[in-house]
Amino acid sequence: MAAPVYKRVLLKVSGEALMGDRPFGIDPERIARIADEIAEVHGLGVEVASVLGGGNIIRGVTAAASGIERVAADHMGMLATVINGLAMQDALEKRRVATRLISAIEMREICEPFIRRRAMRHLEKKRVILFVGGTGNPYFTTDSAAALRANEIHADILLKATKVDGVYTSDPKLHKDARMLPSLSYQQALEENLRVMDAAAISLCRDNRLPIKVFNLLVPGNIRRAVCGEEIGSLVAETAFATAAKEVS
């Protein structure tokens, strides 16, 4: 079996990924499978940090559209990530993986506050760390939190687990001629507004030359494949390694 090519990874898991086929909330089977996969790569000796989203419970923009003040709505969104983090922590600990839940918003009874050096120490001690609470600030996303934390902990790569195979030239659901790009530059992602992550998150990765791998979490085994450097999904880096785009199958 292939060996890991990264020593330390930051895995971004969106709230939506935890929903499974449900319209809302957490699907225990889905969270169990993701936990299995995280436990697997952790077992390969990879240091794993994860940032959890909250969109399966509440999104600030949507809540604000229904009349809640935006900052309050974003606070609600950040709290949603804590709920997801607690579920993921439970699933991982059931698999005997030592974890630490670390929140950008202090909640001492249930998670640790974010202290960078302490987080790094947990990784060195082979604990999986789960970052919740986003950046701790409204008007940001958990993608930005993932870019921020990945840089802070000196991760080798940001693994963005999504529901699609990678980055497409346009929305494959709307455009038949959409093509998947196995490789693209940060600049291309920003200029062409390709839906990798929000612009703030991509810029932060670009400025610090942190590669981003976008891949499909719905395919079992893909976290291991991404960690082992297999050619799945799309790699966003300083320069694209190939201009060829894959046909959508």
Least spacing, CB of residue 211 vs ligand UDP, in Å: 20
| Of 131, 140, 168, 186, the one binding ligand UDP by CB under 6 A | 140
| Of 4, 25, 138, 172, the one binding ligand UDP by CB under 6 A | 138
Using CB atoms within 10 A of its CB, is residue 244 exposed (0-12), middle (13-18) or buried (19+)? exposed
The amino acid that residue 118 corresponds to is: R
Least spacing, CB of residue 63 vs ligand UDP, in Å: 7
Using CB atoms within 10 A of its CB, is residue 242 exposed (0-12), middle (13-18) or buried (19+)? exposed
Contact present, 10 and 213 (Cβ < 8 Å): no
Residue 98 makes CB contacts below 8 A (sequence gap 6+) with 125, 126, 127, 128
Least spacing, CB of residue 50 vs ligand UDP, in Å: 11
Least spacing, CB of residue 85 vs ligand UDP, in Å: 12
Residue range at the interface with ligand UDP (CB under 6 A); choices 111-119, 124-132, 139-147, 208-216: 139-147
> Cα(220)–Cα(235) distance, rounded to whole angstroms?
19
Site for ligand UDP in 76-135 (CB under 6 A): 77-78, 80-81, 134-135
Residue range at the interface with ligand UDP (CB under 6 A); choices 47-55, 93-101, 106-114, 163-171: 47-55
The answer to the question of residue 60 lying near ligand UDP (CB under 6 A) is yes
Which of 28, 50, 72, 14 minimizes the C-alpha distance to 227? 50
Task: Please give the DSSP secondary-structure letter assigned to residue 134.
Answer: T
Residues contributing to the site for ligand UDP (CB under 6 A): 14-16, 53-55, 59-61, 73-74, 77-78, 80-81, 134-135, 137-138, 140-145
